[in-house]
Amino acid sequence: MEGLDATKGFKAWSRLQNIVIGRFLTGQEGNRFLFQNDNKNIINKQAATVTRILGPKNLMDLPVEDHKRMRGAIMSFMKPEALQKVLTRMESVILQHFEECWEGKDSITVVPLMKKLTFHVACDLLFGLKDGNEREILSKDFSAIVKGVWSLPVNFPGTAFHGSLRARSRICRRLSSLLEVRRRELEQGKASPRQDLMSCLLSMSMNKEDENNSALTEEEIIDNMILVMIAGHDTTAILLTHLVRMLALKPHIYKSILQEQTEVLSGKQRNTPLRWEDIQKMKYTWKVAQETLRLNPPVVGGFRTATEDVDYGGYTIPKGWQLFWTTSITHWDGEAFKDPDKFDPAHFDNQLAPYTFIPFIAGPRVCPGYDFAKIETIIFVHYLVSKYKWSLVFPDEKMICDPMPAPSMGLPITLHAKGN
Ligand code: HEM
């Protein structure tokens, strides 16, 4: 039952809302309806204030054709073949994190460290930014942006929303000058078009022969780099946090992961980088992560808007109505998952029915960071279980939704390093 308390309150609340205002869509059929109609007669429309923070050209707000074009551009870096080329770099950022933040420590608090780790991975692989001070400044500005997204839209000095808009301006200026430098490096052959997301998008916009992508403007690149950073780092940090928690609570699962890791790497020289094929073989590790996502989905749901009257289940949903998809209720469906309350990675032994497991949603807006998050998670877990055992300082620590489900005290743990 450990995984459940994170979203139990949300589940009860959303059931109540469903009865009261009838806008929630859940379960396989609800999801199929919503995600198959996404970008057709149902669209993703952010509040105007959120668009001001994320920028008008961010993927979530683009009309269908522009959305397709921009997604294609982002996916050219996020697809497995491209990520394969940056695997070792991702691994070295993760290793450096363990050296700097875990080594020699008796205890740590997991949530802030996971946010720091995923922010550094993203800085390196999305922006090619390695300087520690610059990362620190950007990290503060990105935190301010996120606070604004979830605040009252009052643009007055001292409010979170105002702070968020100012942070956005600073980030835009910084990204614009990074783009300028990178453009020159690409022109001079000193940077490669596939080294990070920024180079990838920029080289597409510089390649005038490529009719599909030449229209990428600097504004589009900046707005989408901001979106990818926001969408990518806190979500993954929450997954890693819950994994650390679950592995402490379930020693037999920790043992099985360790066994898989040992088997996959048997015969391989110690301290050599992980290979792409090693990651692909760590299937049990990913099942544990999927089970963690099932019971503790970082994104508990999201809004869509009907652009015309749409029929569903014998009812007409009027044009302009907001619809809300939810991961939590879907993931506890006893027909899709036997003993849904139980944390059991075997839930993922067989192919699942479509639209029953949706932590990354589905359809044309399915998360483009799926493979990025998967690789990052597997590498992290590999070093975590190889180097450490740990225990929870507060095994019954409460969960809060802030807005993602997270331990209320940040998950302090006691570390026991293993000998080499
Ligand atoms: C465990 C980690 C992650 C989870 C659970 C997750 C979940 C999601 C979900 C549920 C959405 C759909 C939101 C909506 O349409 O309302 C989404 C969209 C998105 N995600 Fe992720 N995500 C994760 C990691 C990442 C990473 C690592 C990146 C990039 C580096 C990323 C980039 C994006 C982007 C750009 C979108 C918008 C896609 C669009 O509108 O077409 N995500 N993610």
pLDDT at 396: 96
Q: How far is the CA of 369 from the centre of ligand 1 (A)?
A: 6
Span 148-174, pLDDT tens digits: 988 888 999 999 999 999 999 999 999
Q: Which of 38, 369, 374 is nearest to 228 (CA)?
A: 369
pLDDT at 3: 41
Cβ atoms of residues 236 and 373 within 8 Å: yes
In this structure, the strands spanning 322-326 and 24-25 are parallel
Pocket test for ligand 1, best of 76, 234, 328, 367 (most atoms within 8 A of CB): 367
Span 341-385, pLDDT tens digits: 999 999 999 999 999 999 999 999 999 999 999 999 999 999 999
pLDDT at 55: 95
Q: How far is the CA of 408 from the centre of ligand 1 (A)?
A: 24
Q: Which atom of ligand 1 is nearest to the CA of 38?
A: 15
Instruction: Answer yes or no: is the ipTM higher than 0.90.
Output: yes
Radius of gyration of the chain (CA): 22
CA dihedral 204, 206, 208, 209 (to 10 degrees): -50
Q: Where are the beta strands (DSSP E) in 6-149?
A: 24-25, 42-43, 107-109
Q: Which residues line ligand 1 (CB under 6 A)?
A: 44, 59-60, 71, 227-228, 231-232, 235-236, 239, 298-299, 302, 359-361, 365, 367-369, 372-373
Look at ligand 1, atom 7, and give the residue with the nearest C-alpha: 360
> Which residue has 């139990």 as its token pair?
8
- Binding residue per annotation — 200? no
CA dihedral 258, 418, 120, 3 (to 10 degrees): 50
Cβ atoms of residues 357 and 294 within 8 Å: yes
Q: How far is the CA of 88 from the centre of ligand 1 (A)?
A: 23
pLDDT at 15: 45
Angle, CA 31 vertex, CA 27 and CA 35 arms, to 5°? 175
- Which residues in the chain show pLDDT less than 50? 1-22
